[in-house]
Amino acid sequence: MEEEYLLVDPVSRQVSPEAEKVVAHAAVELGDRVTTELTRYQVEVRTDPHTSLADLGDQLRATRAAVSNAAARLGLRVISSGTPLLGQHTPPPFTPGHRYAQSIATFGALDHEQSACACHVHVGVPDMTTALRLSNHLRPWLPALIALAANSPYWNAQDTGYASWRTMTWGRWPVAGPPPYFTSRAHFQDLVDSLIASRTIIDRGGLYWDMRPSHHVPTLEVRVADALPTAEDTVLLAGTVKGLAAAALSAIGRSEPAPCPGPEMLRAGCWRAARDGLAGDAIDLRTGRLEPVGVFIDRLWKTVHSALDAGDLALLHAVRARLRAHGNGADRQRAAFRQRRHLPDAVDHLIHTMTDAPHR
């Protein structure tokens, strides 16, 4: 797992450009599992590989605590949100580094709104061919994962009308959104070579699709989710992806073809999920018609339930109950705001839930 966090000032609740200092303090405990990101507002962490969701949750909570403690020593706080709520500047203060400088020189203002934070799930795979087949099978579930993990309703101190505004900002990149349906390893490699040769991307790391074979570890990286408010929400995402991947690998083992919705409708489904989150309707990619989002999510849970063991399912059950009761991260941010119609209250909510266990 990879999580990206934002630093905030506890008085103004605005984002704070002190990531390098926080990372230096947190690295005493976390080593190279904590690093900087594109902007100086952001801190990135990663976990070790895990097969147990319980162990993953333990490490996520310890990692969040370490980063939060490091920030507190500098008089700052940490939140996990897909976008900043208050105080971001355009352009933001960028982290020094050759690759970041190269990106800014190449893509210009596209980088100016990338103080957005995500949560990435890496699924271990034996080879590239398996990664691409798995990607094909998981593509139709991307809208459901967006809806489940939506946690970025605010941007520039305004409600965007979207549950996941981060999804919309990432969609502006030339290689972003749902990945293509790959017919072979050669198809993937030829496309990547063409994107690099045409200078559309700098290197393999510039493949900003919602899923991609990792360029540095043997995984399929599922990148579609916003940064999630609590460690438990992140475990729920991890367990959901784990269940979907296990079901897909079983289907691959049976030589079942992957569903192949048209790219236009898949993109439309992702847009609607980013707008509505867990409220309203979803697009049934099998028919192209609207259906209640609850029906879509129920199909997701049914698939996950069929593929996970009893231990993982028991752990996810309680988190799912809280999700049904309180909604996703976007719903909770908006609920915190509505109490006094005061946006700093939503920031305070995120500060509290960063290291708090269940949402209450």
Query: What's the chain's Rg over C-alpha atoms?
Result: 19
Q: What is the dihedral of CA 144, 150, 156, 158, to 10 degrees?
A: 90
**67-84 mean pLDDT:** 98
State how far the Cα of 252 lies from the Cα of 245, in Å rounded to an integer.
Answer: 10
**133-137 mean pLDDT:** 98
Per the omega criterion (within 30 degrees of 0), is the bond before 91 cis? yes
Helix (H) or strand (E) run with residue 347 in it: helix 343-355
Return the residue matching tokens 């475990």. 235
pLDDT reading at 358 higher than 50:
no
Percent of the chain having pLDDT more than 70? 99
CB contact at 8 A, 269 and 281: no
How many helices (H) and strands (E) the chain has is answered by 13, 13
pLDDT at 154: 98
Return the residue matching tokens 């706080």. 77
Topology (CATH) of 2-355: Creatine Kinase; Chain A, domain 2 (3.30.590)
State how far the Cα of 236 lies from the Cα of 228, in Å rounded to an integer.
Answer: 10
pLDDT digits (tens, 9 = 90+) for 303-317: 999 999 998 998 898
CB contact at 8 A, 269 and 283: yes
pLDDT digits (tens, 9 = 90+) for 76-125: 999 999 999 999 888 999 999 999 999 999 999 999 988 999 999 999 99
pLDDT reading at 357 higher than 70:
no
pLDDT digits (tens, 9 = 90+) for 8-40: 999 999 999 999 999 999 999 999 999 999 999
CA-based nearest residue to 149, from 64, 238, 67: 238
- Give ∠ CA 225-230-233 in degrees, rounded to 5: 50
CA-based nearest residue to 120, from 50, 19, 217, 211: 211
